[in-house]
Amino acid sequence: MRKSILIVLFALLLPALLFAQGSKREPEKPAVEYTPIGTFPIVKEKITVDIMVVQPPCVEDYNTNRFSKYMEELTGIHVNFIMVPEQARQEKLALVLASGDYPDAFLGFGIGTELETTYGSQEGLFLPLNKYYSDEWMPNMMKAFEEFPGGIGYMTNIDGNIYSIPRLEGCYHCSNMAKMFVYQPFLDALGLKVPTTTDEFYQTLKAIKERDPNGNGRADEIPLAGSIIGWGDQVERFLLNSFIYCDLDTNINANAESNVGFMMVDGKVDTAMNKDGYREGLAYVHKLYKEGLIYSGSFTQDSSQLTQLVESSAQPTVGFATGGWRGQFATIGGDRFNNFRAIAPLKGPKGVQYSVVFFQDPSMGSLVLSSKTPYADAIMRYFDFMYTQEGTLLQRNGFRGEAWDWAKPGQVGLDGKPAVWEQLRLWNDKDPQNDTWIQTYASATTPSLKNGLASPPITPEDPEYYLPSNNEKTLFDETTYLYKPYEDVTVEVPQLKYTAEENEQFSTVKRELANYIRQSAVKFMVGSMDVHNDRVWNDYVAGLEKLQMNEVLALMQKAYDRQYK
Distances in whole angstroms, Cα of residue 384 to Cα of each of 37, 202, 442, 451: 10, 51, 9, 22
Give the tens place of pLDDT for each residue, 325-373. 999 999 998 999 999 999 999 999 999 999 999 988 899 999 999 999 9
Distances in whole angstroms, Cα of residue 331 to Cα of each of 171, 176, 182: 22, 22, 15
Give the tens place of pLDDT for each residue, 387-429. 999 999 999 999 999 999 999 999 999 988 999 999 999 888 8
Distances in whole angstroms, Cα of residue 389 to Cα of each of 40, 66, 119, 331: 17, 18, 32, 29
Q: How confident is the model at residue 28 (pLDDT cuts 50, 70, 90)?
A: low
**Residues contacting residue 524 through CB under 8 Å, at least 6 positions apart:** 282, 286, 531, 540
- Measure CA of the first residue to CA of the last residue in the chain; give whole Å: 78
Instruction: Report whether pLDDT(298) > 80.
Output: yes
User: Pick from 375, 405, 368: which is nearest to 390 by CA?
Assistant: 405
Q: What pLDDT does residue 29 have?
A: 66
Provide the residue type at 414 as one letter.
Answer: L
Answer whether 391's CB lies under 8 Å from 400's CB.
no
Q: How confident is the model at residue 503 (pLDDT cuts 50, 70, 90)?
A: confident
Answer whether 328's CB lies under 8 Å from 230's CB.
yes
Provide the sign of the torsion angle of the four alpha carbons 20, 23, 24, 25, taken in this order: negative
Global pTM reads: 0.78
The DSSP call for residue 312 is S
Answer whether 325's CB lies under 8 Å from 178's CB.
no
Q: What pLDDT does residue 296 have?
A: 94
CA gap 481, 42 in Å, rounded: 46
User: Pick from 312, 286, 306, 343: which is nearest to 227 by CA?
Assistant: 306
Strands 268-271 and 404-406: unpaired
Give the tens place of pLDDT for each residue, 314-333. 999 999 999 999 999 999 98
Instruction: Report whether pLDDT(11) > 70.
Output: no
CA gap 58, 430 in Å, rounded: 6
Instruction: Report whether pLDDT(448) > 50.
Output: yes
Distances in whole angstroms, Cα of residue 85 to Cα of each of 41, 49, 303, 438: 31, 20, 17, 15
Give the tens place of pLDDT for each residue, 458-491. 889 898 999 998 999 999 999 999 999 999 999 9
Q: How confident is the model at residue 201 (pLDDT cuts 50, 70, 90)?
A: very high
How many percent of the chain have pLDDT more than 90? Answer: 80
Per the prediction, the chain carries an average pLDDT of 92
Q: Exposure pattern of 154-190 as b/e (b: 16+ CB <10 Å)?
A: bbbbbbebbbbbbbbbbbbbbbbbbbbbbbebbbebe
Answer whether 541's CB lies under 8 Å from 274's CB.
yes
Instruction: Report whether pLDDT(520) > 50.
Output: yes
Give the tens place of pLDDT for each residue, 89-112. 989 999 999 998 999 999 999 998
Provide the residue type at 329 as one letter.
Answer: F
